[in-house]
Amino acid sequence: MAHILWGYIRRHRLGLLSAVLMVGILFVVFYLYALPWEAIGYGLVLCLAALLLVHAVGVYRYRRRHYRLEALCRRTEWEPGELPEAEDLLEEDFARLYASLSGAYRRQETDARVRQTEAADYYTMWVHQIKTPIAAMKLLLQAQTDGGNDAVQAELFKIEQYAEMVLQYQRLEGGGTDYVLERCPLDDILCQAVRKYARLFVLKRLQLHYEPLNVTVLTDEKWLGFVIEQLLSNALKYTKSGGISLYMRDPGHLVIEDTGIGIAPEDLPRLCERGFTGANGRLDKKATGLGLYLCRRILHNLSHTITLESTVGEGTRVILGLESAALRVE
């Protein structure tokens, strides 16, 4: 209450000072005319009582307006019409200024949303269109019987994966909420991802250590499948020899472990940030810094978790906590 009273005094300091001066002038005039002290005292009491009454009403109205504005500040969205009614010309000017700025902001926000939607539609169309020539080239390569095109097929597969990453990124940034939570056999999701990368396992002569897990998880099969594919892609990219293992470390935690080059300890805390590639990405010069960022976003939305453990020169272990609590959308 003290800060409200102090705020009222600061706002009406000129009026209060004028009232005090007027009372003082009246006191001096009455005194110079040698009026009885009882009359002077009676007049001063009436003046002070009137001043207190007027300003008590003013403080009440000031406090009510303050609480109303404070309530609006706690809300994320409100309209200019919800502001308290202006009491003077300056407040009317501020209200008009706010309405003007609010209108300009809303127009800019609408324009930005339209541009974002148009960009998302364009990239989505581009991804779907680029998949057609990719599929055609894959068929042409498969039709060749002279061999020697494994490397070309591997590079074409990478192009397809990058296009798919762009599509998923646009869906996430566009606020896509097409999550379907259901009990899914984890082995089905893993087998689908492994089949997709089987050619790369053969080309790089890497071993796959995997046995059926016989586990069901509450998740979205499509989005979790995309995450596992991204993690397998990273493991294959940075593993030159040895192999990749898929197993459950304890109930609800899937582990994807490789014998690759490992990750520097200083890079681990930031590896899931958007655009961060780390030392390995700088050496590769082809990393986008989006793969693990997308994985983290998707897993967060599914109430899953991701943890990375790594030792340089020995390999990396990615742990997915698949015990879902509730669906969350950023």
Q: What is the pLDDT of residue 329?
A: 46
Q: What is the pLDDT of residue 187?
A: 94
Binned at pLDDT 50, 70 and 90, residue 17 comes out as confident
Domain ranges of the chain: 2-78, 177-330
Q: Helix, strand or coil for residue 20?
A: helix
List the beta bridge partners of residue 245: 209, 257
- The tokens for 322 are 């698949």
Q: What is the pLDDT of residue 185?
A: 93
Give me the CATH topology for the region 177-330: Heat Shock Protein 90 (3.30.565)
Nearest to 183 by CA among 144, 229, 122, 224: 224
Residue of 202 and 143 predicted with greater confidence: 202
Q: What is the mean pLDDT of residues 302-328?
A: 84
Residue of 230 and 105 predicted with greater confidence: 230
Residue of 156 and 177 predicted with greater confidence: 156
Question: Residue 306: which H helix or E strand, with range?
Answer: strand 305-311
**Is the pLDDT score of 327 beyond 50?**
no
Residue of 145 and 31 predicted with greater confidence: 31
Q: What is the pLDDT of residue 143?
A: 67
Residues 138-171 have pLDDT tens digits of 777 776 656 556 677 777 777 777 777 777 777 7
Binned at pLDDT 50, 70 and 90, residue 78 comes out as low
Q: What does the alpha-carbon distance between residue 229 and residue 244 come to, in Å, rounded to a whole number?
A: 13
Strands 207-210 and 243-250: parallel
**Is the pLDDT score of 190 beyond 50?**
yes
**Is the pLDDT score of 14 beyond 60?**
yes
Q: What is the pLDDT of residue 35?
A: 72
Sheet holding 305-311, edge to edge: 207-210, 243-250, 253-258, 315-321, 305-311
Binned at pLDDT 50, 70 and 90, residue 310 comes out as very high
Percent of the chain with pLDDT over 90: 23
Q: What is the pLDDT of residue 208?
A: 94
Q: What is the pLDDT of residue 221?
A: 92
DSSP for 216-268, please give it.
EEEE-HHHHHHHHHHHHHHHHHT--SSEEEEEEEETTEEEEEE-SS---TTTG
Average pLDDT over all residues of the chain: 80
